[in-house]
Chain A
Amino acid sequence: MIRIEPSKGWVSLKLRELWEYRELLYFLIWRDVKVRYKQTVLGAAWAIIQPFFTMVIFSVFFGRLAKVPSDGIPYPIFSYTALVPWTFFAHGLNQASNSLVRHSGLIKKVYFPRLAMPIARLLAGAVDFVLAFIVLLGMMLYFGIVPTVNVLWLPSFILLALVTALGVALWLSAMNVQFRDVGYTVPFITQFWMYATPIAYPSSLLSEPWRTLYGINPMAGVVEGFRWALLGADTAPGPIVIVSSLVALVLLVSGAFYFRRMEKTFADVV
């Protein structure tokens, strides 16, 4: 028996129900992946083009002309290693933030745990991430970089990027239902955020304690973590990553509760 009644204030996350709908989650991801590059000429190459050419531009302007330091690592792979998780994050954030508005038809006509929507949109980006990552492996081969045992930490940095993206996306997508302004601010936020993240430059430009505090931007932890795990940059990002993880966790939990609180109005307002 299910009782349908008004909910008041902050409500539980109903994660068990979300688990019960995992098959729908799977189909939503599958659909996004399937249609992503339909009717494009270059197809999945788009997943690589964006981070790769950004890397080229960064290498020319920041690496060659501005002579930005890169922790003793060749600049192209220094920036590309950061761009791979960044692109995944920025794209996922954008997609997930607009997910409820884009699929308003579904929201208005079918019941399912609404959390599934931004999660599916975010996870669908994993395909792009894998493709861009394969290119990264090729570049490591080219530059003759052999990853150390630190590489075992890589999955936890991917998780950190996911948690951050989801946390922010939950806030933004729930707000977007009420005010479409949010949809317009997302590209602006990601652009601003990119320059606030040590992608084109290393965080080692900062002295302690500022470098650790830099971890308040969780993507700083992700990017530095990636470089450390894959390229063996000698600047261990431990403190940054701890700060980043805490911030990301706060974002995720608060975002999830905020989302659930706003959820009851989605079908009426969207």
Chain B
Amino acid sequence: MSDIAVRVEGLSKKYYIGKKLKKSPTLRDNLADAFIAPFRRAGNLLRGKATGAAELDETIWALKDVSFEVKRGEVVGIIGRNGAGKSTLLKVLSRITEPTEGYADVYGRVGSLLEVGTGFHQELTGRENIYLNGAILGMTRGEIDRKFDEIVAFAELDRFIDTPVKHYSSGMGLRLGFAVAAHLEPEILLVDEVLAVGDARFQKKCLNKMQDVGQQGRTVLFVSHSMPAITRLCERTILLDEGSVLEDGPSAQVVGTYLSSGLGTTAAREWPDLAKAPGDDIVRLCAVRVRAEDGQIADTIDIRRPVGIEIEFEVLKSGYVLLPHFKLFSREGIEAFNSVDVDPAWRGRPRPAGCYISTGWIPGNFLAEGMMFIGAAMVTIQPKIVHFVEMDAVAFQVVDSTVGDSARGDWTGGLAGVVRPLLKWTTQFTPNQRETATRVTEEEKS
């Protein structure tokens, strides 16, 4: 038996996305088309051609000539921007959708986890849903029976296990979903971005569980936007870009390439082509930069100094109240905080079209040491529109030179936590009365 678990050769997947515009159609053409099209479509349908209602003829290659091999027991991360083909790759490997060209050989039982709680039914109880979801993910009844208690304990839902899932909070539902999935025991596990569930504590538990899976010698392909999770779980990472493999190698190196792609630094990212930039018809993201106090782009920041997060965006359509904001994540993937632009000049004011640069300053002596990841986002509150959320847009390293005037004081060991504020400490001292008294009398004696 070979030690290969997955072999992918020249795998490509084409999607039909839109209708090609015909040149100068006349009203007569349109009318004729409106009557003929239904018959043409019905004909296609009966002949077994899938055209879809819109007759999509514009195509996009979600995967283009992807080849790689995964050895038995390897844990491989797959990263890339939105639309790079990560999810499509997992869908093809889990046989949900067929490739257009090429092939993939899969040696062993595949379990895929593309969504947490797939097939949950709101009316059924937690217990019933465990069985249903387990069966859908490919577990046998005996397997679920055996692991039932473990699953319930992992989800921390012992008291609610006979309550219909519709009465669960969303967090509880996600926990139950992950608990079932975490107890799948296929030889090859495909995971898509499911660790981002629940609170920070549960996320950590999930990450640990994933690590266990890897250590048990099972093969894992793991798609994630969380660079911290990737570097922690995977030794090897594949970077996809526009459907092709851009880099395949040790995780730290590939994540570095990904974050610094284009500009050679993780501290700035620019989208020169507005059409491809994150956003919509109203506003698009132009750049995200990390600036040190002196205004220079910097990927290393002294823990004692402030750091500016700069979001450059272009408003294409006037009249919307826009709320630029950013999220800060620690290396462990913990969302430390969100910060919303509160600049009074534009607060609650519709913005005219044009270019804007909003900068939020994180004070010095606030963040802990280590890698920090920034996600930039833009929303409108009334009506609620999420224009873009660009996770891991930039990253920077916070360093403590340990000269003694930072929050660590004279402590030189490790310090946990996402933030490390330098607090004002005061001391109130009351001398021990009796001891003082004795000392005083002794002094008097001598």
B50 is contacted by which of A2, A7, A269 (Cβ under 8 Å)?
A: A269
Closest-CB distance, B38 to chain A (whole angstroms): 9
Are A4 and B45 in contact, CB atoms less than 8 angstroms apart?
no
A180 within 8 A of B: yes
| Segment at the B interface, from A53-61, A83-91, A102-110 | A102-110
Q: Tell me which residues across on chain B come within 8 A of A262, comparing CB atoms.
A: 48, 50
B112 within 8 A of A: yes
A112 within 8 A of B: yes
- Give 1 or 0 for each of B120-133: 1 = CB within 8 Å of chain A CB: 01011000100110
How many residues does chain A have at the interface if contact means C-beta atoms less than 8 Å apart? 39
B232 within 8 A of A: no
Are B128 and A24 in contact, CB atoms less than 8 angstroms apart?
no
| Segment at the B interface, from A33-41, A187-195, A221-229 | A33-41
B211 within 8 A of A: no
Beyond A5-B102, A178-B52, whether A23 also contacts B97 by CB under 8 A is no
Interface centre among A23, A106, A108, A268 (most CB of B within 10 A): A268
Q: Tell me which residues across on chain B come within 8 A of A24, comparing CB atoms.
A: 135-136
A265→B107 CA distance, assembly (Å): 25
A111→B94 CA distance, assembly (Å): 7
B137 within 8 A of A: yes
Are B50 and A265 in contact, CB atoms less than 8 angstroms apart?
yes
Contact residues of A: prevailing secondary structure = helix
- Give 1 or 0 for each of A95-134: 1 = CB within 8 Å of chain B CB: 0000000010111111110000000000000000000000
A231 within 8 A of B: no
Closest-CB distance, A200 to chain B (whole angstroms): 32
A210 within 8 A of B: no
Q: Tell me which residues across on chain B come within 8 A of A5, comparing CB atoms.
A: 98-99, 102-104
A144 within 8 A of B: no
Closest-CB distance, B108 to chain A (whole angstroms): 8
Q: Which residue of B lies closest to A105 (CB)?
A: B118
B48 is contacted by which of A2, A105, A112, A261 (Cβ under 8 Å)?
A: A261
Closest-CB distance, A250 to chain B (whole angstroms): 15
Q: Tell me which residues across on chain B come within 8 A of A264, comparing CB atoms.
A: 97-98
B97 is contacted by which of A27, A261, A268 (Cβ under 8 Å)?
A: A268
A142→B320 CA distance, assembly (Å): 73
| Other A-B pairs, 7, CB within 8 Å; known A2-B105, A111-B95, A264-B97 | A2-B95, A4-B92, A5-B103, A23-B141, A35-B121, A175-B45, A265-B50
User: When A and B form their complex, which 10 residue pairs have the shortest distance between CB atoms, in order from nearest?
Assistant: A265-B50, A5-B103, A27-B135, A111-B95, A38-B123, A267-B97, A264-B98, A4-B104, A261-B48, A109-B115
User: Interface of A with B (CB < 8 Å)?
Assistant: 1-7, 10, 23-24, 26-27, 30-31, 34-35, 38-39, 103, 105-112, 175, 178-180, 258, 261-262, 264-265, 267-269
Can you name 24 A-B pairs with beta carbons within 8 Å? A2-B95, A2-B110, A4-B98, A4-B99, A4-B106, A5-B103, A6-B99, A10-B48, A23-B140, A27-B132, A30-B132, A34-B124, A35-B121, A109-B114, A109-B115, A110-B96, A110-B136, A111-B95, A111-B96, A111-B112, A178-B51, A179-B45, A264-B98, A268-B97
